[in-house]
Amino acid sequence: MILPAPIQDLINALSRLPGIGPKTASRLTFYLLHAPEDLARDLAQALQTLKSGTAYCQTCFNITAAGRGECEICASSERQANLICVVEEPLDVIALERTGGYQGRYHVLHGALSPIEGIGPDDLKIHELLERVRAGQIEEVILATNPSMEGDATAMYLGQHLARLNVRVTRLARGLPVGGDLEYADQGTLLRALSGRQEMS
């Protein structure tokens, strides 16, 4: 069946988004086609202002409102300025902030080292992180990259460079999830849980 061009164009555009295949893109397109006019208009408006209304923080490279030099976290006097948590993506900042247990500041790399995909140190915000640490006042850098091959390689690379700057470097603990069963844990997770075991208090 040949679809009208506007419908096919939207299906093609939605299919380019991560996690959305052709079937889901088709369902969303036909839902929007029959949805109230204001829903489609609001969605179109939100998509238009997504790029124009956002920018990157000049300090940590997290997403902030356009026109602001710093994000709310970097601008806050209540956050610990001597503590930086390094993450791969802005979504990681949101996840850590939801815990309510971290009061330092962040640095967003915008990816992880991946030679296979051609992503090297110059493609990430690594130089900017090292400059922040060199500027002084930073006492600890927490490496919170993902527990993947790329995340581990990035953490190792950063650890080597940060070690020369007289700053404490830590890595997020890894191990068994709360509510998980040992029998379902993979070998790597069990090994990390064993090596990262703590004293019972």
Question: For residue range 90-121, what is the model confidence (pLDDT) as tens digits?
Answer: 999 999 999 899 999 999 999 999 999 999 99
Average pLDDT over residues 118-125: 96
Q: What is the DSSP string of 103-152?
A: -SEEEE-SS--BGGGTB-GGGTTHHHHHHHHHTS---EEEE---SSHHHH
pLDDT at 170: 94
Tens digits of per-residue pLDDT, 20-52?
999 999 999 999 999 999 999 999 999 999 989
Task: Note the pLDDT of residue 197.
Answer: 75
> CA angle at residue 101 from 99 to 102, to 5 degrees?
110
Q: Please give the full DSSP string across 145-201, using - where no structure is assigned.
A: --SSHHHHHHHHHHHHHHGGGT-EEEE----PPTT--GGGS-HHHHHHHHHT-----
192-201, pLDDT tens digit by residue?
777 777 776 6
> Could you tell me how far CA 119 lies from the centroid of its own chain?
16
Residue 73 · residue 105 · CB < 8 Å: yes
Could you tell me the pLDDT band of residue 1, with boundaries at 50, 70 and 90?
low
Q: What is the mean pLDDT of the chain?
A: 91
| pLDDT at 34 (0 to 100) | 92
Confidence (pLDDT) at 196 = 75
